Amino acid sequence: MREEGLEPSRPYWTQEPESCASAKFRHSRVAGKATRGHLRWHCRYRPPHGRRAGAAARMRRDLRHLESTDDRMQRHDLPGVLPAAGSRRSGMSRRDFRLDADARTHVGRRRRRNEDAFLLTDDLVAVADGLGGHPGGDLASAVAVESLHSSGAAADPDSLRGAFVEAHLAVQQRAAEEPGLAEMCTTLCALALDPAGRLVLANVGDSRIYRLSGGRMTQVTWDHNWANEYMRMGMSPAEAHRMKGAGSLSRVIGAFPEPCEVDIWTFDAGDGDRYLLASDGLTRELPDGDIAVLLAAGDPPEATAGELVEAANDRGGNDNITVIVADVVAPESRRQP
């Protein structure tokens, strides 16, 4: 199987995303429940729809991005092969390859509000984690997810990267409306499926994407914090973690004047492959080995997502927890209605 995305491809922005296709979504103002839905955030502001023009368009044309060469991967071998995906949920794609996906989000056991948001559509899923301690973290994640939903991003590296740029500009535009929101920002990771058989993954921040294929779980993304950046520059892990601000994020959506570099990976779609998108409320509580066992158990996405959230809460639930479990289903595996 071709895996040209094991090393993030060089980011550049050239393509204006198409207009957004309709998709079901739901808003919720209730924190503290493990909730399923298509689009969810925890704030009272509803971000505007539509394209950002004028200065935003000129800014996109002037973007300059650095090349990412990091190819570190964390692997966990498991006995056997992931069983077939769970039953099809209503509303999923009827075209060739499709996603059988579900999501759960929970405020956790220590926080008073949920600053995570997620997007769940037929062929595009995403998780955003507003930064705690920064003003408007919940608003930043909501704006980013709504912008991604409105962008019409396709399973194409340029299109998805462009949608991330639009999300960055949307967060900045909203922050400019209130002085107290000047530093609001969020992480954002996303997966887009081309029914013809290609998956494109994108990431900014420390929310993660894992891939389970052939009984092996791989952490596809790497955390964008300064400790990892220092190690990429040649420092030893010990030296990097001693640096001031080593745990702070080096890339986010919003806050910085220009959009950050977006890491992109491309994979061939494989029947039975399973992907997990998660905020750090999950990954800080559960070691990768435990995550791999739950993903490989073969339960449907809905059940697996709930088990992951429950396990993270059992380990302390110190942060908001949001997960999306997405199975790739081939045409011959589709059940007739």
Q: 143 by DSSP, 3-state: which?
A: helix
CB 288 within 8 Å of CB 31: no
Query: Residue 89: what pLDDT?
Result: 35
Report how far residue 269's alpha carbon sits from residue 329's, in angstroms, rounded to the nearest whole number. 9
Neighbours of 21 (CB within 10 A): 11
Digitized pLDDT (tens) for each residue of the chain, 337 residues in all: 433 333 333 222 222 222 222 232 333 323 333 433 344 433 323 333 333 333 333 333 333 232 232 333 333 433 332 222 233 333 334 458 999 999 999 999 999 999 999 999 999 999 999 986 677 899 999 999 999 999 999 999 999 999 999 999 999 999 999 888 988 999 999 999 999 999 999 999 999 999 999 999 999 999 998 888 888 889 888 888 888 877 888 999 998 888 889 999 999 999 999 999 999 999 999 999 999 999 999 999 999 999 999 999 999 999 999 999 999 999 765 544 4
Bridge partners, 326 (sequence order): 101, 275
Report how far residue 26's alpha carbon sits from residue 91's, in angstroms, rounded to the nearest whole number. 14
Predicted TM-score of the model (pTM):
0.72
Neighbours of 43 (CB within 10 A): 22
Query: Residue 202 corresponds to which tokens in the numbers above?
Result: 């994108």
Buried b vs exposed e over 228-256: b needs ≥16 C-beta within 10 Å? bbbbeeebeeeebeeeeebeebbbbbbbe
Q: What are phi and psi of 198, to 5 degrees?
A: -125, 140
Residue positions counted in the chain: 337
Report how far residue 250's alpha carbon sits from residue 260's, in angstroms, rounded to the nearest whole number. 9
Query: Residue 260: what pLDDT?
Result: 87
Q: In what helix (H) or strand (E) does residue 116 lie, and over which residues does it extend?
A: strand 116-120
CATH architecture for segment(s) 36-41+75-331: 4-Layer Sandwich (3.60)
Neighbours of 50 (CB within 10 A): 10
Domain boundary assignment for the chain: 36-41+75-331
Query: Residue 23: what pLDDT?
Result: 30
What type of residue sits at position 21? A
Query: Residue 333: what pLDDT?
Result: 55
